[in-house]
A and B are shown apart, each in its own frame.
Chain A
């Protein structure tokens, strides 16, 4: 069964540094999402992406965040200048066109900002 994949699994960075988190959605999916989960808390929606543009974004997704579909398979989340409070697990998800409600999650990237 195809799955969403994410790299790296863990990332440690210094405050103020830029990080790029990468995701490969399921191949026939056209809707992509990023979520984050601070340790011990609920999963929070960041942004959704369709047809090469942002479809929806939450209040968390401020100017320091950006997303990109650089090629036909990857979907990236960039954090320009990381803050301590950006430390979290970041999940990518994707959904099909016909049944776009069902979102399938990747294994996550654990980001630690020091």
Chain B
């Protein structure tokens, strides 16, 4: 089955700086890669996702890049703000049909220092 590794486990950046979180996956058949943000005690919220036919996707201060050959994908947050503090999870899924589950990474605790 799929295995997703995520690094770092904790990331502390100064407000206004950029943050990068990296994930690798094992199943070359995986073709859908979402990122979720989870604030303490709350539900995971989808912030951005990318499909394997695209190398990069951007939404305002958030971007995701995908390298299919190396089987890794990254989340980039620019101009970080205090409200970006949360745990971020990457995930991967083979989306060939049916209701397939997501395989999550272990999460990155992002801390924005004022």
Contact = CB atoms under 8 A, between A and B. Distances in A.
Interface of A: 31-33, 35, 41-50, 55-56, 58, 91, 95, 100-108
B100 interface: yes
A102 B46 CA distance: 8
Contacts of A31: 99
A82 to B, nearest CB: 22
A49 B99 contact: yes
CB-based closest 9 A-B pairs:
A45-B101, A48-B99, A55-B99, A31-B99, A50-B99, A105-B43, A43-B104, A101-B32, A42-B106
Contact residues of A: prevailing secondary structure: strand
Given A41-B106, A43-B44, A43-B89, A48 B32 contact: no
Chain A CB count within 10 A is highest, among B43, B91, B93, B107, for: B43
Contact of A105 (B45, B99, B106): B45
Contacts of B43: 91, 105-108
Interface of B: 32, 34, 36, 42-46, 49, 51, 89, 91, 93, 95, 98-107
B70 to A, nearest CB: 22
A59 to B, nearest CB: 9
B107 A91 contact: no
A103 B42 contact: no
B54 to A, nearest CB: 13
A58 B107 CA distance: 20
Nearest to B106: A42
A44 B44 CA distance: 12
A60 B32 CA distance: 23
A104 B49 CA distance: 12
Contacts of A44: 104
Contacts of A48: 98-101
Contacts of B46: 102-104
B92 to A, nearest CB: 11
Chain A CB count within 10 A is highest, among B91, B99, B106, for: B99
21 contacts: A33-B101, A35-B102, A42-B89, A42-B104, A43-B104, A44-B104, A45-B101, A47-B101, A50-B98, A56-B99, A56-B101, A58-B101, A91-B44, A95-B99, A100-B99, A101-B49, A101-B51, A101-B95, A102-B34, A103-B34, A107-B43
